[in-house]
Amino acid sequence: MNYFTEKEGRNNRSAHIVSWLFVALLLAGVFWFGFSRLGYRFAWQTIYDYRLNFLKGYGMTLLLSLCSLGLSLLLGIVFGLGQGSRLLPYRYFSLFYVELVRGTPLLVQMLIFFYVIANAAGLNNRFVVGILIMSIFSGAYIAEIIRGGVQSIGETQRETARSLGFSPYQTYRYVIFPQVITRILPSLAGQLASLIKDSSLLSVIAIKEFTMAAREMNANTFSTMEAYIPLAVGYLLLTLPISRLTRYLERKFSYET
């Protein structure tokens, strides 16, 4: 029995490896065909010349993303639960915040927050302003994801928890949240990946992150492809771990019913 199980496992791994190689070769062939038709000559030396600029910008993007991820999750939980609160000011403020942020473009929010609100508050640190902007924007979407996840839990489960003597905190802790986590993980992962990519817009308020490094190289050398291909690869390296971690958590928190 163990022999057949191990053999089946090796066959599955081999099938996965062959499939990934096929996809990689297919994509490589598509890109090769496209660039060969254009007759574009790559100047890879320019990437090496601007390597320090790229590394500093990448580090800034990584730091901005990590800080924004944590704060946006906190805001999402606070305002996601607030939309179902019995405290009316809290509920209506949560609803207003979510609708306002989701209904207006990020670029407009960024400019208003930076040039109006931050200046009025005397906040001159662009790094802090960037974190606040991205957290407020992404927090609204995470709040809506959490609200939908909580409301997807049947009322009968809450009634059962109350009949067993559970407090509201215990109901959420032991009954609702374990089920909500598995339901919102795919949407949450997508939003967190979008947050990382949307951070590229912070270059408009002169934050020297990864996208600005690519734009500076392109402006100085006119090497468009050499500037933006590393940019795409860099963002992919940031978003892929989120996808892998989400799939691991989905398996870890999966339940039969």
Distance CA 24, CA 3 (A): 32
Cβ distance 171 to 19 under 8 Å? no
Taking 90 as the threshold, does the pLDDT of residue 135 lie above it? yes
Q: Which two tokens stand for residue 87?
A: 């405290």
Contacts of 207 (CB under 8 A, 6+ apart): 60, 64, 126, 127, 130
- Encoded amino acid at 104, one letter: T
Cβ distance 176 to 157 under 8 Å? yes
Cβ distance 59 to 237 under 8 Å? no
Distances (CA, A) of 93 to 78, 120, 138, 168: 11, 22, 17, 22
> Which residue did the predictor score with more confidence, 3 or 42?
42
Radius of gyration of the chain (CA): 23
Neighbour tally for 32: CB within 10 Å: 10
The pLDDT tens digits for 66-105 are 899 899 999 999 999 888 888 889 999 999 999 999 999 9
Q: Could you give the maximum distance between any two Cα atoms of the chain, in Å?
A: 73
Label residue 125 left, alpha or beta by phi (over 0 means left) and psi (-120 to 50 means alpha): beta
Grade residue 27 by pLDDT with cuts at 50, 70 and 90: confident
pLDDT reported for residue 4: 47
Distance CA 224, CA 57 (A): 17
What's the chain's average pLDDT?
84
Residue 202's closest CA among 50, 22, 60? 60
Grade residue 189 by pLDDT with cuts at 50, 70 and 90: confident
Q: Which two tokens stand for residue 127?
A: 């790094």
Distance CA 30, CA 23 (A): 11
Q: Which residue has the tokens 């019913």?
A: 257
Buried b (16+ CB within 10 A) or exposed e, 132-170: bbbbbbbbbbbbbbbbebbeebeeeebeebeeeebeeee
Q: What predicted TM-score, i.e. pTM, was given to this entire model? A: 0.81
Residue 191's closest CA among 150, 152, 134? 134
